[in-house]
Amino acid sequence: MNRRASIAALLCAAVLSACDAFDKNAVQEIAGPVPAGARIKFFNFGVNAPGVNFYANDRKMTAISSGSGQESNIGVAYGGVGAGGFYTAIAPGQYTLAGKIAAATDKDLAISNLPATLEEGKSYSFYQSGFYNTTTKTVDAFIVEDAFVPQIDFSVAYVRFVHAISNASPMTLYAKNTSTTDSVIVGGAVAYKSAGAFTVVPPGFYDLGTRYAGVSTNAISRTGVSFLAGRVYTIGARGDITVTSTTATNRPFLDNTANR
């Protein structure tokens, strides 16, 4: 019995020693600073563009799984945003950002290519924009920095406007509160492939409209958009400005995506 007790005691001491060593190692592993990195969203706003997977150099940044667990050949369709609208983390550095066809036909053919430098701690949005050229199988692309205010005021919302319609002149976004009827000018005029600054907007429901300089009527309208306090939003214009149908896929449209 004494011999068994001694063996058991030795085993317990060994286990406790190993656990102590594991705890010390665990503390050492998490003590170092964690790099902030960069973050990026991907939008497919290229009219008539096929569904794509987005890449940074050879690294696939977005993909969609099918019911079988395999990657879907649909990709991010027109009007969509990759990764469910969330940012994707990426190491800072220089990249070629690309949208590559997800379908079996022309699989992985890059229809957009854009060199970009992503900086530590910054957030970005990459847009396929304009019109897809079926002959050259290319589409425009641009990137904007998502320059959030340094300190968020959680009693208000923040909204900005991004212009991704190649056949539309510079536009200004207006937001009219449906309860108070007060209107907010969301930044100034924004040209194609550009973004306005984030603007403070009281929380509530709004009817949105974009207007050309010197024009009092809306070029694009959208009603009943909710802005919540403490949140940050991007209103992105996409489509063909010449389309007058209210149901066509390629009609001019104001997309609302939450940044935070």
pLDDT of residue 71: 73
The SS3 of residue 257 is strand
Radius of gyration of the chain (CA): 25
pLDDT, residue 63, reads: 80
Q: How much is the average pLDDT of 69-75?
A: 78
Q: What is the predicted pLDDT for the residue at 2?
A: 45
pLDDT in tens, 174-191: 999 999 999 999 999 999
Task: For residues 32-57, give the mean pLDDT.
Answer: 88
CA–CA separation, 150 and 145 (whole Å):
14
Whether the pLDDT of residue 209 is over 80: the answer is yes
Residue 23 has pLDDT above 60, yes or no: no
Cβ neighbours of residue 260 under 8 Å, at least 6 residues apart? 148, 152, 231, 232
* pLDDT score at 220: 98
All domains of the chain in start order, with CATH: 35-146 (2.60.40), 151-260 (2.60.40.1120)
Statement: residue 65 has pLDDT above 90: no
**Quick one: pLDDT at residue 72?**
77
**Does pLDDT of 160 surpass 90?**
yes
Q: What count of Cα atoms within 13 Å lies in the side-chain half-sphere of residue 186?
A: 32
Whether residue 165 is predicted with pLDDT greater than 70 in this model: the reply is yes
- More confident of the two residues 5 and 172: 172
Q: How far apart are CA 63 and CA 42, in angstroms?
A: 11
pLDDT of residue 27: 34
Is the pLDDT reported for residue 217 higher than 50?
A: yes
Asked if residue 176 lies in contact with residue 204, where contact means CB atoms within 8 angstroms, the answer is no
What does the mean pLDDT of the chain come to?
88
* Angstrom distance (rounded) from CA 151 to CA 27: 32
Q: Report residue 67's pLDDT band, with 50, 70 and 90 as the boundaries.
A: low
How many Cα atoms are found within 13 Å in the side-chain-facing hemisphere of 146? 24
Give residue-wise pLDDT tens across range 230-241: 999 999 999 999
- Look at residue 10 and tell me whether its pLDDT is greater than 70: no
